[in-house]
Amino acid sequence: MPGPIKAKYVEKEHAVVDGVDISGHWNRMFEQRTIFEYTPELIEKIADLPNAESFANCYQCAKCVAVCPVDVVGNYGPRKLYRYAQTGMDLTETPELWLCTTCANCLRVCPKEVNMVKIMPAAREQAILDGKFVPPELQQAFENTAKSGNPLGQPQRKRDAWIQNAGVPIPIIKDLGRPVDVLWYVGSYPSYHPRGIDAASAAARIFTALGIDFAILGKEEKDDADSQRLAGERGLFEMMTEYNIETFNKYEWKELVVTGPHELNAFKNVYPKYGFERPVLHYTTFLTRYLDQLKPLLKHEVNVKVTYHDPCYLGRHNGEYEAPRKLLEAIPGVELVEMARNRENGYCCGGGGGVMWMDSFTQKHTKMRLSEKRAMEAASTGASVLAVACPFEVSRFEDAVKSTGNEHVTVNDILELLDKSMRGEQ
């Protein structure tokens, strides 16, 4: 692959521009670049892909680079990708293809609506279909999802094994044999990851204490595969979507409540294209409805300073910034402090867009993990708890507080903090 062609500078004793001598001591100027040396082919190659049309809209203003979380820890950004493509980079065969977390902060500021959330999955899909390099860890997550129904590669029949130790009975909708108010989609990490199980168990106890009529799918639940779609595996996403929609429609329920923002995004924003249009709520939005009933249950003081990390797929992608904060403020003793980058400008944890499963690959192309940068930001607020609302984040940030020497910061899902206040220290 030819590398990007860089403009050369020249150093002249005397520089005369349009008859005016602008010489200084060792003046340096860039030679006028000849735009005609470049071909638009590699930009067109991307912009011709379905959903990636807006790539060609870029007019190089670079507002995106200023807010790109990857640029903070490396050298990246949509504007740069456009420029590299202009000067010889084929996006489908470069490491840059895999660094974008689809956090959508660039789209928020882009005056030309260049939408990397659509462009990157389309370019990645093309790379996969063309048999180009795909990070091996990502391949593994794809294969696990196709084979086992979850990216962790855990057995499907153990999907509801966690409910044994939740401390409250958790009904499986198939066994219940009647309609329920709430179908709770637990999600893969809350079903299998030890720290995810902590959050899921807390959710079950909270729902039960609030008297909510809920049930889960149990062994019938499979991954939403939204992050796999964003990583370029649309076929896999469609296969999982067909299964999930059929499973959701087998039972009678009024609302679908999800633990994770990525599931929210899939079921609420993408599934309608596949014929599924039902009410879907993230647990934070759902629980704020019960604030009046919840507050008297929060008996124990949790005396900590807490900072909250906005998940990209709850905040920017779905506009929910206040519900998580309302829940945290309802906990007696909690002092909520904000990181400098919050809400619409929240910094990405680095796990979106399938980058969750490319950790050792992206490590080679950035100075530090996005989660490490964010953990340092959290620590700098003086908070002792970093509260999260996305199942990807607990494990990411727990590693990051350790690797950045901030072990004094505890990472908790909001569910765990509510549960702690409800039951006291266990």
Partner 1 sequence: MNIVVAIKHIPSIADDLPVKGNNVDFDSVDFVLNEFDEQSIEQAVLVKEAVGGTVTVVGVDLIGELDNVLHLALAKGADKAVKITADEPGADSHMQAKWLADAIKGMSADIVFTGVQASNDLDGQIGPMIAAYLDIPYIGGVSSVEVADHTATVNKEFAGGFGAKYAVSLPMVVGVQAASKPPRYAPISKVRQIAQTVTIEKIAPSGDANAGAGLSFKKMAPPVMTGHAEMIGGSYKEVETKIVELLKSKGLV
Residues that bind partner 1 (CB under 8 A): 125, 128-129, 131, 134, 136, 139, 142-143, 146-148, 153-158, 233-236, 238-239
For residue 288, what are the contacts with CB-CB under 8 A and spacing of at least 6?
A: 322, 323, 326, 327
For partner 1, the closer of residues 122 and 390 by Cβ is 122
For partner 1, the closer of residues 149 and 350 by Cβ is 149
For residue 215, what are the contacts with CB-CB under 8 A and spacing of at least 6?
A: 170, 171, 172, 173, 176, 180, 182, 183, 184, 253
> Which regions of 95-153 does DSSP assign to beta strands (E)?
none
Task: Name the minimum Å distance from CB 95 to partner 1.
Answer: 17
For partner 1, the closer of residues 136 and 332 by Cβ is 136
CA 374-187-138 angle, to 5 degrees, is 65
CA 198-203-208 angle, to 5 degrees, is 130
Task: Name the minimum Å distance from CB 159 to partner 1.
Answer: 12
Looking at residue 54, its amino acid is S
- Which residue do the tokens 């168990």 mark? 201
The bridge status of strand 280-282 relative to strand 253-258 is parallel
Task: Name the minimum Å distance from CB 239 to partner 1.
Answer: 6
SS3 content of the chain, % helix, strand, coil (to 5): 50, 10, 40
Encoded tokens for 43 = 């930009």
Task: Name the minimum Å distance from CB 58 to partner 1.
Answer: 28
Task: Name the minimum Å distance from CB 80 to partner 1.
Answer: 27
Cα torsion through 125, 129, 135, 141, rounded to 10: 70
CA 353-355-361 angle, to 5 degrees, is 150
For partner 1, the closer of residues 48 and 143 by Cβ is 143
Task: Name the minimum Å distance from CB 238 to partner 1.
Answer: 8
For partner 1, the closer of residues 155 and 179 by Cβ is 155
For partner 1, the closer of residues 238 and 322 by Cβ is 238
Task: Name the minimum Å distance from CB 270 to partner 1.
Answer: 16
Helices 414-423, 194-209: inter-axial angle, 10-degree rounding:
50
For partner 1, the closer of residues 6 and 157 by Cβ is 157
For partner 1, the closer of residues 191 and 307 by Cβ is 191
Determine whether 154 is exposed, middle or buried from the number of CB atoms within 10 Å of its CB (0-12, 13-18, 19+). middle
Evaluate whether 215 touches 247 at the Cβ level (below 8 Å).
Answer: no
What distance in Å separates the CA atoms of residue 424 and residue 418, rounded to the nearest whole number?
Answer: 10
Task: Name the minimum Å distance from CB 221 to partner 1.
Answer: 16
Task: Name the minimum Å distance from CB 187 to partner 1.
Answer: 20
Task: Name the minimum Å distance from CB 134 to partner 1.
Answer: 5
For partner 1, the closer of residues 161 and 212 by Cβ is 161
For partner 1, the closer of residues 147 and 299 by Cβ is 147
- Other beta carbons within 10 angstroms of residue 95's beta carbon come to 12
Determine whether 247 is exposed, middle or buried from the number of CB atoms within 10 Å of its CB (0-12, 13-18, 19+). middle
Which residues does residue 255 pair with via DSSP β-bridges, in sequence order?
Answer: 182
